[in-house]
Structure 1
Amino acid sequence: MKLVSYNIQYGIGLDQKYDLDRIAASLAGADIIALQEVTRNFARNGYADLVAGLEARFPEHFSCFHAPVDLLLNMERREGRVVAHRLQFGNMILSRHPILSVRGLLLPRSRTYDRLNLQRSALEAVIATPEGPLRVYSVHLDHISPEERLGQIAVLQRLLADTPQEGVAVTGADEFGMGDTPAPEDYVALGDFNLQPESPEYQALFGRPDPFYGRVPRRTHPVDALAHLKKRAAGSYSWEGPGGAGERLLLDYALVSPSLLPRLADARIDTAARGSDNFPLWVELS
């Protein structure tokens, strides 16, 4: 099973051109797709509805979208009713397999006064894969403040570890004649975490390595798929600075639960993709 994460930057590539077709081409063959910076009614891409555009390009996939940023742009009266036009910015998941339940989970933030400060979130989808139910998350953390990322990481870690005990979107569904949605131990969290390898935020997320034993998988921490498979080199990157400045950073990660490590077969970054300033990160489970 192939999973991919891609921060699509509103559909605008390194050449500053909007092209949703080349983004879709970079995602071809994926069973599960986790996207960040998906927008509706954003001026920079001509007010395109990326949710509808992506659903049209992946007609065999189920989909869900959550916009932690949802702002009124303008409104009009049409055929006797008020129609609001809203700017939405958020995360999306597309899946070849049925999506059983969905939650959009807000992450903590603090106000800035001179920099864009977006509400961040994690979109959770429980997916009925052929190998059993799987929790999949599309995640986007703050891009400015390490302290803010640390607070978001603490909430995310608790979510990843405790959901099997706490349940997903609904529990006690028998009261309404429905069976409970599974809350599996297995998860993959994909996204733009805006942190660099072995930074304080990285170590908070994945655990600090012991000088002798290294970084041992623990229930309380996810595993970095690239690092675990030794696919992360000193020069690995998933983001490139604008204008060909040559700045490259590794900011995108695939987090897998320790329970999934026996199935973790491959991970790679597709630096040939040009549809965004980030690059697709692929993970394969056997």
Structure 2
Amino acid sequence: MIERLSPDILALQEVDGRSHLGRRAGAFEFFLDALGGHVAQARTVPRPGRDHGHLLWSRFPLEEVVVHVLPGPGLERRAAIEAVVAGPHGPLRVIAVHLGLIPRARANQSAFLAARMAESAEPVAVTGDFNDWRLSGSVHRRLAPLSGESLTPPSFPARRPILRFDRLYLRGAVRLVRGHVDAEARASDHRPLVADLDLS
């Protein structure tokens, strides 16, 4: 799927190497070896060979990389990977997220993300699994007013998407040219969000 789509930037959530749960051990190492390029990672459940978390990959250099531990409450540690992608058309600040399951946690986490968006001097893209299926929920209420454009199609479950878990919010001098969920992908229980952006 990644080969077919050939992205310049990729945010992967639920990179899961928990072999004791039947997953592939060393999932992070697998992606790091397979993708090449530039990678920032958030191992939110760090265990040697059995890590769980998410990663941000880019064909172009990543600068100012920070992994933010997001506020709770929650059963699992949640993180946001923030980096400036130094691409040929100018910098783009990308924040890749996997938000919590508890509504109060998502409210706290989306408030944090809204502050990061508002503070960015560069164009910014916030993307990932927001675990909030309602556009009336705290995530969209906080991020949409700051966002020039957003992409929020149904993406879950992959077999017949009805929930808008996976999203993209843009702010500043970046434009959404086109976006969709990839109906052919079968690598996850979510359909991947695909977006073409214009920074010119």
- TM-score range, shorter-chain basis? 0.7 to 0.9
Which amino acid in structure 1 is aligned with residue 192 of structure 2? Answer: P
Report the equivalent of 1:268: 180
* Amino acid of the structure 1 residue aligned with 2:162: R
Which has the larger Rg? Answer: 1
Among residues 53, 75, 92, which one is paired with 2:55 in the alignment?
92
Distance 1:120 1:24 in 2: 25
The partner residue of 1:53 within 5, 30, 43 is 30
Contact (CA 8 Å) 1:238, 1:271: kept in 2 or not?
Answer: no
Partner residue of 2:141 out of 190, 200, 203 = 203
Kindly tell me: are residues 247 and 46 of structure 1, through their superposed partners in 2, closer, same or farther at Cα, counting changes over 3 Å?
closer
Partner Cα separation in structure 2 for residue 134 and residue 247 of structure 1: 29
Superposition CA RMSD, Å = 2.2
Q: Which amino acid aligns with 1:187?
A: V
TM-score of the two chains, using structure 2 as the length reference = 0.87
Structure 2 residue aligned with 1:131: 89
Name 1:222's counterpart in structure 2. Answer: 147
Partner residue in 2 for 1:19: none
For structure 1, the 5+ residue unaligned runs are 1-22, 72-84, 112-116, 165-184, 208-220, 228-235
Secondary structure class of the residue paired with 2:50: strand
The 1-side partners of 2:141 and 2:170 are apart by 15
Rounded Cα–Cα distance in structure 1 between residues aligned with 2:125 and 2:161: 28
Q: Percent identity?
A: 29
Instruction: Write the letter of the residue equivalent to 1:151.
Output: N
Which protein, 1 or 2, shows the higher relative CO under an 8 Å CA cutoff with sep ≥ 6? Answer: 1
Q: Flag the 1:251–1:105 CA change in 2: closer, same or farther, 3 A.
A: same
TM-score (norm 1): 0.63
**Aligned 1:31-46 pairs, distance under 5 A:** 31-46=8-23
* Residue aligning to 1:101: 64
Match of 2:110 in 1: 153
2:156 corresponds to which residue? 239
* Structure 1 residue runs of 4 or more that deviate by more than 6 Å after TM superposition: none
